[in-house]
Structure 1
Amino acid sequence: MELTAAHWTYLAGVVVIIGVMIARRNIVVPAVLATFLTAWAYSGDLVKGLASIFTASLTAAGELFSIFLIIAIITALLGGLRAMGAEQRMVRPFRGLMRGGRAAFLTIAAATYFISLFFWPTPAVPLIGAILLPAAIRAGLPAMTAGAVMAVAGQGMALSSDYVIQVAPGLSAKAAGVGTGAVADRAMVLSLITGAVALTYLYLRGRRSFGVAGDEHELRWLAQENGLDAGAEVQLGGSPGARGIGKGAAAAAATRAATGPDTATQVLEPSPEVAAAPPKPEPVRRSRLFAVLVPLTFAAIVGYMLLGKFTDVVGDVQGDEAAGLVGGVAMLLLFAAVFSIDGSHGLTTAASHVVDGLVFAFKAMGVVVPIAGFFFLGNAEFVSRITGVHDAKPPALLFDLVASVDQHIPDNGFMLSFAILIIGMITGLEGSGFAGLPLTGSLAGALGPAAHTDPATLAAVGQMGSVWTGGGTLIAWSSLLAVAGVARVPVQDLVRHCFLPVIAGLAAATALATVLF
């Protein structure tokens, strides 16, 4: 196969992007420049090359807008629940289960996973830190172990599978050219394997330090110096579980952890209309109702989707249909929550929550658009749309590069899975669990057929590596900083505490991936 200047330019762009990720720098600028140079080399027209900077991002935005919309709707729903205090009530029942260190370990893991699966770790961390963590410490669970469990269950298990909202599987699947449902199913299984191994490791290593319930544990925890990083501000990546946190903000988060919800993690300040509204007493009965109704509704949706996958009772719902079902139901729940507390003013506050959700979606995931635009350029399906060159047979730049070295690719799915895992972990080093998914997905789609391995499985493996690393379990400049803040432990110590359990879990899941699928 003859490789052109466009192929070599594209390859150079991939190499530079990986190098920038390893250096822990943002990859938007190299992705945009690589798009321009590749399109210019392919079209031979400087104007088309310049225009491709815009059309690549436009193409990616069009392909990914359904993902942005579901993020916005879920965020808007969370805003409506927060307005009535229902998000706190969703986790309060777990407090009664913590009778000792072992029970606290399991309760923290279950509650963090449950909340993060439906709303992502961003709200889960302050909720658990404010409501459950003091009770867990009082029950005898060490703060370091509690922080590690929160990170593994939330930023790891829940965020890496993203089974309900399906943003991560959607990004991986589109880049790999496979169905979102296939990637989501595999990612769910692999995330559970990784999480089970990591949590078991943490439990066995820390069980001897579990104490008996007593107020002295909490008093000692509150009195100790917070272990937040005292260095310069750390700018986190754009993943849903991450946020830019400086030492002052992180310290404030730790202080608020013992007193109430961390309002610093809210997406935006309330809109002027909402801020101007007079304060209202807490609608206790309604908040209790929605604290039960919302989780049960989402659990029913998951059950419906599983019923469609494994039985013929209902039709199979996956991919865009699943996202549409979750988004539609979430929007109706938002309206119900808003009108139940605001009455006729709900027309205004509902719109404000939706706008806040859209702003958050683009702030959290907007960085992915130009990156995805570059990797879409490597797919024959998008070359013409991006460059404006309409050839009868447009090149598949990334796939052609892989095909040119096909004879050197090991025909071994086991080895290839670990290679994709390592690449995924490298992409996660820049602190954003989702920014590297277009790369790992594209490589999975290109390398899988050459090695006779299911691309959906490889995409799920790459997703595990990227999200578990950058989402907030293995690097200190990710949202793990927020977990360390609410747990009042040094973030570097928390990284070391999580490292071996998470690596063991990822290795086990990757080794089983090609056996199970």
Structure 2
Amino acid sequence: MGIDLTVLHWVYLLFIFIIIAVMIMRRDTTLVCIIGIFLLGLLATSSLTTALGGVFNSLIYAITQLLGTILVISVIVAMSHVMTKTGINDVMISPFSKFIKTPTLAFWVIGFLMMVVSLFFWPTPAVALLGVVLLPVALRVGLPAIGAAIAMNLFGHGIALSGDYIIQGAPKLTADAAGIPVSDVMVASVPLVIIMGAVTTVAAFILLKRDIKRGALVVDAAEIKELDRKTSRGKETLSRKSKVLFAVLIPVLLLLDVTGMILFHLQGGDATALIGGTIIFILMAISLAAHKNKGLEKITEYLIEGFQFGFKVFGPVIPIAAFFYMGDSGFQAVFGNVLPAHSEGIVNDLGFALAHVAPLNTEVAAGTLTIVGAITGLDGSGFSGISLAGSIAHLFATAIGSGIDTLTALGQIAAIWVGGGTLVPWALIPAAAICNVDAFELARRNLLPVIIGLVVTTIAAMFLI
């Protein structure tokens, strides 16, 4: 049963619009989110001290909810560093280089490998793992560096990150904000991720081939020599036999993890913990084997590098996640049972009210979620705004009476494709740097394919709600 909306509800809604406006202006939302939490607490409790304490406690609540995701990403990045420095990544990828004979094969092989590796390691570490090995191979068969960057970018930061089926960082954020199980978002996202990925990558490939045929894109021989020189550095800490052993052991262990997830029905935090624990032991084993007497210290050093990356990436996410948790269970956890009688949470109440005053249809809901997701991605994170997408999906689904899982997945996909590293130039830096291309040029080439993909995916979502 819904209730009459109070000032508390309107303030929460107002701050959602303010946050969207700030994102459109490409400014950080931390200040707005913290002020919003403070005002919500002050209105609900009429206590200045409780409202001030609530700001801090809301951040603790958000960190508590996100900590598993932050930690697993941190240890994955730590492991990718030691794999790159020891040359294990070279050995893991080298068999696939034999299949790359033409520019077309280079594009699709690099893309699919990037997608698979990104599911386990996340795209930024995956770019480092794959790029230094496969880019010289691609250049030799005639695929320009910008083509390799597009493939790594769309398959990794697009397809793999928008689904995030192994680490489950993205679906956890959106599912928590929408108030539904992580598994619901993951299942609903599968057809949307497939449609978005297929349309976008095919469109990008067609445009790329067109420019190669026209001679607008060519391979510079100097690029190949420079890349060969870079990839030959610092890879002598392990013997060839040890590298091969780890190159085989790592994917076997990770595949066993996936098998365990299926057999024991592990999802969300349990699945994340399994992957994280396995990776920590892999990291320690490689460090000890590679650095011998210095291995103990190197383990700590690699973990510190990983933690620095993890908290740097999630630093902007924590305040905005804290605000959107206030729309659901987070409010009661932080400020206690102070909502009006019969309230089912701020977002639920807004959804009920919206359903009564302005009934919506699936077309409007799907279009709105895509636009909101894309807008939240403009900050270049992709993750900082997907809590907003989940929260709005909850609101719209309550209004139309169905489709919360599909709407949540759609908002997640739009946010990550735009902000996770395929359109916003400052989020494209990892792939652009590895391939030595201009990030703005990469963003420009991705623009039309991603827009086409979002339009087609949104239309598809209308039929799935």
In the TM superposition, what is the alpha-carbon distance from 1:122 to its structure 2 partner? 1.4
Aligned to 1:506: 454
- Aligned partner of 1:266 in structure 2 is none
Q: TM-score, normalised on structure 2?
A: 0.90
Structure 1 match to 2:91: 89
Corresponding residue SS for 1:90: helix
**Length-normalised TM-score, structure 1:** 0.81
Could you say if the C-alpha distance between residues 337 and 491 of structure 1 is closer, same or farther in structure 2, counting changes exceeding 3 Å? closer
1:354-412 per-position Cα deviation (integer Å, ceiling 9, x unaligned): 33323322111122111111111111x22232224556656622222232221355443
CA distance in 1, matches of 2:175, 2:324: 13
Whether the 8 Å contact between 1:16 and 1:30 is mirrored in structure 2 is yes
1:335 aligns with 2:284: yes
- Counterpart check, 1:473 vs 2:422: yes
Deviations 1:34-88 (A, max 9, x none): 1111211121111111111101111111122121222222223223323422123
State the match for 1:52 in structure 2.
54
The letter for the 1-side match of 2:440 is Q
For 1:385 and 1:441, the matched residues in 2 are separated by 19
Deviation digits for residues 472-508 of structure 1 (CA, Å, limit 9, x no counterpart): 1112232x13333343443333222111211222222
3-state SS of 1:135 partner: helix
Q: Are residues 35 and 137 of structure 1, via their aligned partners in 2, closer, same or farther at CA, if it must alter by over 3 Å?
A: same
Residue-by-residue CA offset, 1:108-134 (whole Å, 9 max, x unaligned)? 212222222221221233344322122
Is 2:435 the counterpart of 1:435? Answer: no
Q: Does 1:76 align with 2:46?
A: no
For 1:489 and 1:343, how far apart are their aligned partners in 2?
38
> Are the equivalent residues in 2 in contact too, given 1:409–1:451 (CA < 8 A)?
no
CA distance in structure 1 between the partners assigned to 2:396 and 2:219 by the alignment: 52
Aligned to 2:146: 144
Cα distance, 1:509–1:393 mapped onto 2, change above 3 Å:
same
Q: Is the Cα contact below 8 Å between 1:35 and 1:53 reproduced in 2?
A: yes
Structure number with higher helix proportion: 2
Could you tell me how far apart the structure 2 residues matched to 1:509 and 1:262 are?
42
CA distance in 1 between counterparts of 2:171 and 2:399 reads: 22
1:452 paired residue number: 401
Question: SS at 2:301's partner residue?
Answer: helix
Shift of 1:303: 4.4
Relative to structure 1, the CA distance from residue 192 to residue 301 in structure 2 (aligned partners, 3 Å threshold; closer, same or farther) is farther
Give the match's secondary structure for 2:98. Answer: helix
Question: In 2 relative to 1, CA 345–387 (structure 1 residues): closer, same or farther, beyond 3 Å?
Answer: same
Paired residue type of 2:356 = Q
Is this contact kept in 1: 2:343–2:349, CA < 8 A? Answer: no
Task: State the alpha-carbon separation in 2 of the partners of residues 285 and 45 from structure 1.
Answer: 66
Matches of residues 366-515 of structure 1 in structure 2 within 5 Å? Answer: 366-379=315-328, 381-388=329-336, 390=338, 396-478=345-427, 480-513=428-461, 515=463
**Match of 2:182?**
180
- Secondary structure of the equivalent of 1:91? helix
Q: Once the 2 structures are TM-superposed, how far is the Cα of residue 22 of structure 1 from its aligned partner?
A: 0.3
1:260 corresponds to 2:209: no
Paired with 2:338 and 2:14, the residues of 1 have a C-alpha distance of: 24
- Structure 2: distance between partners of 1:501 and 1:18: 24
Q: Which residue of 2 aligns with 1:292?
A: 248
Report the residue type matching 1:295 in the other structure.
Answer: P
Amino acid at match of 2:143: L
1:340 Cα deviation after fit:
2.8
Maintained 8 Å contact 2:423/2:446: yes
In structure 1, what residue type is equivalent to 2:432? A
Q: Is the 8 A contact 1:125 1:150 kept in 2?
A: yes
CA shift for structure 1 position 284:
2.0
1:262 and 1:167 map into 2 onto residues whose CA distance is 34
Structure 1 match to 2:172 = 170
How many residue pairs align between the two structures? 458
Does the aligned pair in 1 maintain the 2:377–2:420 contact within 8 Å? yes
Question: What is the CA distance between 1:221 and its match in structure 2?
Answer: 5.3
CA distance in 2, matches of 1:207, 1:64: 42
For the structure 1 residues 60 and 91, does the alpha-carbon distance in structure 2 shift closer, same or farther, using more than 3 Å as the test?
same
Q: How many Å separate the matches in 1 of 2:384 and 2:122? A: 16
Distance 1:279 1:124 in 2: 18
Q: Deviations over 1:275-323 (max 9, x none)?
A: xxx9974332212221222123323433454xx3xxxxx3322122211
Name the SS of the counterpart of 1:178 in structure 2: coil
Contact 2:62 2:322 in 1 (8 A): yes
Deviation at 1:147, TM superposition (A): 2.2
Q: How much has 1:25 moved relative to structure 2?
A: 0.6
Of the structure 1 ranges 282-291 and 408-417, higher mean CA displacement relative to structure 2 is found in 408-417
Cα distance in 2 for partners of 1:368, 1:351 equals 26
Q: How does 1:104-143 map to 2 (within 5 A)?
A: 104-143=106-145
Q: Which structure 1 residue ranges, 5 or more long, are not aligned?
A: 224-254, 264-277, 309-313
Does the 8 Å CA contact 1:172/1:440 hold for their aligned counterparts?
yes
Q: 1:334 to 1:128 in 2, by over 3 A?
A: closer
List aligned pairs for 1:234-273, cutoff 5 A: 259-260=229-230
1:137-171 deviations in Å (ceiling 9; x for gaps): 22112333332222111111111111111111111
Which runs of 5 or more structure 2 residues have no equivalent in the other structure? none
